[in-house]
Structure 1
Amino acid sequence: MPRIGLFFASSTGNTRRIAKMIKKRFDDETMAEALNVNKASPGLVAGYSHLILGTSTLGGGQLPGLSTDCMGGGWEEFLPQLKNVDFSGKTVALYGLGDQSKYPDEFVDAMGIIYEFVVARGAKIVGVWPADDYDFISSKAFVDDQFVGLALDQENQKILTDARLEAWLKLIAPEFGLPL
């Protein structure tokens, strides 16, 4: 069973909390520590064949980064560092946080930005998620009538997070060799 790399960027701490919830479900042999991308390196990411990548989406559909008050940097700074990483043969699952009421025109856009980046470099994406029970206008993460990963709204639908996360982990488990 391959060890899974779990990387995230967060400006408010919500994405970090979700990463810790994911990590808590698995032992250290299965999954590496949840690591903020501001403490990661391209070589570390490249060393995993299986990745879970998480991000918040900031106002205007932006990636978290120094320009958006992400302490120590975020995906905005880290993605360009990954431009030479070959994601061919890597299995990637994405989760993204957004606010569908306040930002219905760019709900979980940052997840879509990361999706486009890793797919362009050969990644196999798993864990697409239905858009049922969401109320948004548009999203860069909405492709072929579904989200490219798990979409979470901690502002308006926090009560659904545990059930959604559990269902998503069961969905990706076979692709990651995870025991659930």
Structure 2
Amino acid sequence: MEKIGLFYGSDTGCTDDITKDLVSIWGDEGLVVTEIDDASKEDFEQYKIIILGLSTWYDGDLQSDWESFFDEFQEIDFTNKVVAIYGLGDQIGYGEYFIDGVGILAKVVLENGGDIIGHWPIEGYRFTDSVALIEGKEDYFYGLAIDNDNESQLSDERLEKWIKQVKLELEPYLIPEYATV
């Protein structure tokens, strides 16, 4: 299977823990994990399939390492790349900014020619607003929403379901013509 680049950032360790869980559930299928503070724009160029992970801080801010990398991230050409995003947030304490980081990254990916898979339904969440809502399809987030602050008991189940979904959605992108550089 083609190598998949997984780029994530974590300040408190929660996103790090979710990323380790994701890698464990995903299995040994070619994930190359890189913390975003160790990444460069060139690192993204070697992958056709990319997974991004982050948390949202305060009033809709990117996780600090993503914030530092964001100018460079905006320069990445995502043409012929498929991207899945997972994000952590607090839907109760910061309900008006719930997983905004997912939406911030998703919009750059789309503006720069990429495809996004792994859309996640908003059903079951209690938030008031989010930049991560898909425009024109507001009953879905651009990616997986994890709330370890208020619903940690659902994190593993949501992660497992999302990984199965992403793997199914990746199948059309794994045809030989697409996978070649």
**Taking structure 1 as the reference length, what is the TM-score of the superposition?**
0.89
Look up the match of 1:166. Answer: 160
Cα distance, 1:17 vs. partner?
1.1
Look up the match of 1:135. Answer: 126
Cα distance, 1:84 vs. partner?
2.8
Look up the match of 1:15. Answer: 15
- Percent sequence identity is 40
User: 3-state DSSP class of the match of 2:8?
Assistant: strand
Look up the match of 2:60. Answer: 61
Match of 1:157 among 132, 139, 151: 151
Cα distance, 1:132 vs. partner?
0.6
1:101 counterpart letter in structure 2: I
Instruction: Between 8-17 and 90-99, report the one with greater CA deviation.
Output: 8-17
Structure 2: 5+ residue runs without aligned partners? 172-181
> Is structure 2 residue 106 aligned with structure 1 residue 107?
no
**Taking structure 2 as the reference length, what is the TM-score of the superposition?**
0.88
Q: RMSD across aligned C-alpha pairs, in angstroms?
A: 1.1
Look up the match of 1:70. Answer: none
User: 3-state DSSP class of the match of 1:99?
Assistant: coil
Q: Does structure 2 retain, via aligned residues, the 8 Å contact 1:2–1:176?
A: no
What does 1:61-80 correspond to in 2, within 5 Å?
61-65=60-64, 74-80=65-71
Instruction: Between 100-109 and 81-90, report the one with greater CA deviation.
Output: 81-90
Matches of 1:164 and 1:82, distance apart in 2: 27
Paired positions, count: 167
Cα distance, 1:10 vs. partner?
1.4
Alpha-carbon displacement from aligned partner over 1:109-159 (angstroms, at most 9, x marks no partner): 111100111111011000000001100000000121211100000000000
> Is structure 2 residue 104 aligned with structure 1 residue 87?
no
Cα distance, 1:83 vs. partner?
2.9
Structure 1: 5+ residue runs without aligned partners? 66-73
Structure with a larger share of its residues in helix: 2
Alpha-carbon displacement from aligned partner over 1:21-41 (angstroms, at most 9, x marks no partner): 1112321x5211x22100111
